[in-house]
Amino acid sequence: MSSPQRVVAVIPARAGSTGIPRKNLEPVGGRALVVRAIDAARAAGLVDAVYVSTDGSAIAAAARAAGALVIDRPTELAGSTASSESALLHALDALSDDGVRPEVLLFLQATSPFIDPADLDAAVGEVLSGRADVVFAAAASHAFLWRTGADGEAVAVNHDAAVRLRRQDRAPEFRETGAFYALRADGFRTARHRFFGRVRVHEVEARGAIDIDEPADLVLARTLAPMLDTPAPIDVDAVVTDFDGVHTDDRAAVTTDGSEAVVVNRRDGMGARLLREAGLPLLILSTEQNPVVAARAAKLRVDVRHGVDDKAAALREWAGATGVPLDRVAYLGNDINDLPALAVVGWPVAVADAHPAVLAAARHVLSRRGGDGAVRELADLVLSQRNGART
């Protein structure tokens, strides 16, 4: 029986990593690296199925939750010396055992966080059309390359050092990014290597051509994510927010008797009202044990938990009691004590002036700062998505 899966994407994602522990589960823009790769492959119109090859149970769980199928990768193919080709060949054998024999194998690497689905379709289309056997992602480069000889003397590699041509006078060279490779499956099986037959380059934007290998690469990717990621609709059924630094600007006035007062934003109050009237559960979840938190929640007529040490546990309990799955919850935070809660929801969101670790964990970063209408901005985003889905 022929397989309906003409184009299959495979993402090798082993559990171990030397440079960055649990690298494939590290978040960039609020999504684990392996989930970002899955999302890109699933968004490509020519991809029929997405598989993750892994030896890690946590990666497998994340992959299934993101809509991918999982291939159990043998331990002997998951060590630091195992090649990607060995994992891909094993995946093809496993698929063949299930009656799946794709024409095109799309190999994605989760360590490249900014893969454009349109680029995947373009590369796959080249192989399907018969114009190429292999198409790989590469970024144009006009860099002057050098190497050092045995005596330490510098030697020009890709240019004549005596002729300093302008950038516009030099044809670009291409740097392999490692993000993806579209391979004719039968040819790959025969060659047992990713480069065979007719090989073509698919040029991708250099600004997002990052391969995460060292911690510094991860920092760079997280910094770029708010600028490179296309904002996705915030499709949720409940909203949870921190209080200090979210409903307020994180400042407090302290009187001589030790009592505190804060300034809140009326726009945030309207945002809470709009969410409430739309029937979305709203919770204020705060570490602070302060009457002002409860007073504001009462004013807004929303649920509140304050004086909470373990925000993730409190959030799980509240979501369970409310009947809303955690992946359908948006959490809005600003500081490091929000990180556990941000990690368990489907939509981690940060205010514009959040701590860098929170910005890194966020799937969406608001344009408003804490106390300056951030809650209203999130409410508008959530409600516009729900209203748009109904039309």
Q: What is the pLDDT of residues 310-333, one digit of tens each?
A: 999 999 999 999 999 999 999 999
Please give the model's pTM, rounded to 2 decimal places. Answer: 0.78
Asked if 58 and 38 count as a contact pair (C-beta separation under 8 A), the reply is no
Cβ–Cβ < 8 Å for 113, 363: no
Confidence of residue 390 (pLDDT cuts 50, 70, 90): low
What is 238-390's CATH superfamily? HAD superfamily/HAD-like (3.40.50.1000)
| Burial degree of 182 (CB within 10 A; 0-12, 13-18, 19+) | buried
The pLDDT of residue 1: 35
- Of the candidates 303, 302, 308, 312, the one whose C-alpha atom is nearest the C-alpha of residue 290 is 308
State the fold for domain 7-141+171-228: Spore Coat Polysaccharide Biosynthesis Protein SpsA; Chain A (3.90.550)
Distance CA 71, CA 305 (A): 41
pLDDT band at 391 (very low <50, low <70, confident <90, very high): very low
pLDDT on residue 259: 78
pLDDT at 2 over 50: no
> How does pLDDT run across 194-230, given as a tens digit for each residue?
999 999 999 999 989 999 999 999 989 988 888 888 8
In 129-211, which residue ranges form alpha helices assigned H by DSSP? 185-191
Q: Specify the pLDDT at position 389.
A: 61
- Which residue bears the tokens 């630094």? 245
pLDDT at residue 168 tops 90: no
Flag the least confident range among 96-110, 198-212, 220-234, 358-372.
220-234
238-390 matches 7-141+171-228 in CATH topology: no
For residue range 42-79, what is the model confidence (pLDDT) as tens digits?
999 999 999 999 999 999 999 998 999 999 998 888 88
Domains in the chain: boundaries: 7-141+171-228, 238-390
Q: What is the C-alpha to C-alpha distance for residues 68 and 75, in angstroms, rounded to an integer?
A: 21
Q: Model confidence over 247-282: pLDDT tens digits? A: 999 888 888 887 788 888 999 999 999 999 999 999
User: End-to-end alpha-carbon separation of the chain, Å?
Assistant: 41
- 164: DSSP letter: -
